[in-house]
Chain A
Amino acid sequence: EPEVTQTPSHQVTQMGQEVILRCVPISNHLYFYWYRQILGQKVEFLVSFYNNEISEKSEIFDDQFSVERPDGSNFTLKIRSTKLEDSAMYFCASTPREGTEQYFGPGTRLTVT
């Protein structure tokens, strides 16, 4: 069964550094999302992406964040200058054209030191 994949599984970075989190959504899906989950807290929406542009973003998704679909398969989240409070599990998700539920990847644990 097709799955959303994410790399790396764990990323450790120093404050102020740029990080890129990578996702490969399920191949025939058209809608893509990033969520994050700070340890022990609920899953929060960051951004949704459709037709090569952002369709919605939350207040968390400030100028330090960007998303890109550089080719037909990858979907990336970039944090330009990481802060300690960016430490969280980041989940990528995708939805097919006619679907309703979102399929989540296993997540990337980002630790900012």
Chain B
Amino acid sequence: AQSVAQPEDQVNVAEGNPLTVKCTYSVSGNPYLFWYVQYPNRGLQFLLKYITGDNLVKGSYGFEAEFNKSQTSFHLKKPSALVSDSALYFCAVRPRTGFQKLVFGTGTRLLVSP
């Protein structure tokens, strides 16, 4: 069975500091990996994905994520946080075959203080 773990319910960081939101996964094979962001009362916005190739992928709004196959992790990072980055972040996985469902983590609330 596929599963995604986001071990932190909330991450607090000061504006201008680097941020990391952690994600580990348990999926057979080499899945596709995604990060989505959800702002209050809004839908899920796609941030970035890992398909293949370079382990560091870059996405929207200055976010990037590092894929680590040996640790089965896909941590979200940003070098310098903004207050406007405060939102709920979801890590998700899906198998490479077909167009199958996304399996989401429980989400991590990012709070960036001024």
Contact = CB atoms under 8 A, between A and B. Distances in A.
B46 A33 contact: no
B102 interface: yes
B9 to A, nearest CB: 10
16 contacts: A33-B101, A33-B102, A43-B102, A43-B104, A45-B101, A55-B99, A56-B100, A56-B101, A95-B99, A100-B49, A100-B51, A101-B46, A103-B46, A104-B36, A105-B43, A106-B42
B105 A50 contact: no
Nearest to A89: B43
Interface of B: 32, 34, 36, 42-46, 49, 51, 90, 92, 98-107
A31 interface: yes
* A-B CB proximity, top 10 nearest: A45-B101, A106-B43, A104-B44, A31-B99, A43-B104, A42-B106, A104-B43, A107-B43, A101-B46, A42-B104
Contacts of A91: 43-44
Contacts of A45: 101-103
B34 A50 contact: no
Interface residues of A, number: 25
A87 interface: no
A47 B31 CA distance: 20
Contacts of A41: 106
Contact of A48 (B51, B100, B104): B100
Contacts of A81: none
Contacts of B43: 4, 91, 104-107
